[in-house]
């Protein structure tokens, strides 16, 4: 636990743009973001996790998996990947018939033909350029199965709060990111949960490819 917090903190200092937080997410946010998996059917499912960090959500996702399921994890940061390779129970999962693969790669490199029933994404969109956010959201929604659910979170008030303290150029970037994310929410969101027990408080959002289906 201490090792995982120390690693997260060191990576936040070294790579704040991609890490986007100073501490791992709380168990409450973990429960909220993985909540849709609790509604899964008994048929095998395909799950994608993007940006697991030290695995705050990964362990919760594993609790929902059953024989025949397939779980893919994309993490950009090599230090986080090394930590996950040492701590995730790959062999035990395989012996139960659950295929789990961890890629030290950008989520944008995920094969075009793949489709997932559940996607859990923790990327810090507010730290990115708007073009990158547009590109990543397009990849995520493209890889989501027709009846699938994409969960992601955002910190409360991050746009309004951060933009007051930013240089004008960064403020413009955040406003533009806010517009991209808002348009995505308007088109794809089917619900959300407010989580106060997280540092900072956050909102878990649930999205579908087509909200009219």
Ligand X SMILES: C[S@@+](CC[C@H](N)C(=O)[O-])C[C@H]1O[C@@H](n2cnc3c(N)ncnc32)[C@H](O)[C@@H]1O
Buried b / exposed e along 152-171 (16+ C-beta atoms within 10 A)? bbbbbebbeeebeeeeeeee
For ligand X, which stretch binds (CB under 6 A), given 35-43, 73-81, 111-119, 174-182? Answer: 73-81
Q: Which of 88, 87, 109, 111 is nearest to 100 (CA)?
A: 88
**Interface residues for ligand X in 154-213 (CB under 6 A)?**
none
Q: Does 74 bind ligand X (CB under 6 A)?
A: yes
Is the distance from CB of 111 to CB of 38 less than 8 angstroms? no
Q: How many chain residues are in contact with ligand X, going by CB under 6 A?
A: 22
Rounded to a whole number of angstroms, the minimum distance from the CB of residue 41 to ligand X is 25
| Comparison of 71 and 74: residue with beta carbon closer to ligand X | 74
For ligand X, which stretch binds (CB under 6 A), given 40-48, 76-84, 161-169, 199-207? Answer: 76-84
Q: Which residues pair with 191 in a beta bridge?
A: 206
Euclidean distance between CA atoms 207 and 5, whole angstroms: 29
Binding mask 35-64 for ligand X (x = CB under 6 A): ---------------xxxx--xx-------
Rounded to a whole number of angstroms, the minimum distance from the CB of residue 25 to ligand X is 3
Is the distance from CB of 107 to CB of 139 less than 8 angstroms? yes
**Interface residues for ligand X in 82-121 (CB under 6 A)?**
106-107
Phi, psi of 118 (to 5 degrees): -135, 130
| Comparison of 34 and 98: residue with beta carbon closer to ligand X | 34
Euclidean distance between CA atoms 210 and 29, whole angstroms: 25
**Among 34, 122, 126, 158, interactor with ligand X by CB under 6 A:** 122
Rounded to a whole number of angstroms, the minimum distance from the CB of residue 54 to ligand X is 6
Residue showing tokens 């408080």: 201
Q: Which of 54, 64, 9, 10 is nearest to 33 (CA)?
A: 64
**Interface residues for ligand X in 2-31 (CB under 6 A)?**
18-21, 24-25
Binding residues for ligand X (CB under 6 A): 18-21, 24-25, 50-53, 56-57, 74-77, 80, 106-107, 122-124
């Amino acid at each position: 636990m201490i090792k995982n917090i120390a690693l997260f903190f060191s990576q936040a200092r070294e790579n704040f743009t991609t890490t986007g937080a100073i501490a791992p997410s709380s168990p409450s946010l973990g429960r909220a973001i993985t909540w849709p998996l609790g509604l899964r059917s008994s048929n095998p499912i395909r799950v994608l996790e993007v940006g697991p960090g030290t695995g705050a959500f990964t362990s919760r996702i594993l609790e929902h998996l059953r024989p025949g399921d397939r779980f893919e994890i994309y993490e950009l940061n090599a230090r986080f990947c090394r930590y996950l390779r040492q701590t995730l129970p790959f062999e035990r999962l395989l012996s139960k018939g659950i295929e789990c693969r961890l890629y030290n790669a950008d989520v944008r490199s995920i094969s075009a033909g793949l489709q997932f029933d559940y996607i859990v994404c923790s990327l810090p969109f507010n730290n990115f350029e708007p073009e990158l956010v547009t590109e990543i959201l397009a990849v995520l929604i493209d890889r989501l199965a027709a009846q699938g659910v994409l969960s992601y979170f955002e910190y409360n008030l991050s746009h309004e709060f951060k933009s007051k303290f930013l240089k004008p150029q960064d403020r413009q970037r955040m406003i533009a990111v806010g517009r991209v994310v808002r348009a995505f929410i308007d088109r794809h969101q089917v619900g959300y949960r407010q989580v106060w027990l997280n540092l900072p408080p956050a909102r878990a959002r649930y999205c579908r490819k087509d909200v009219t289906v």
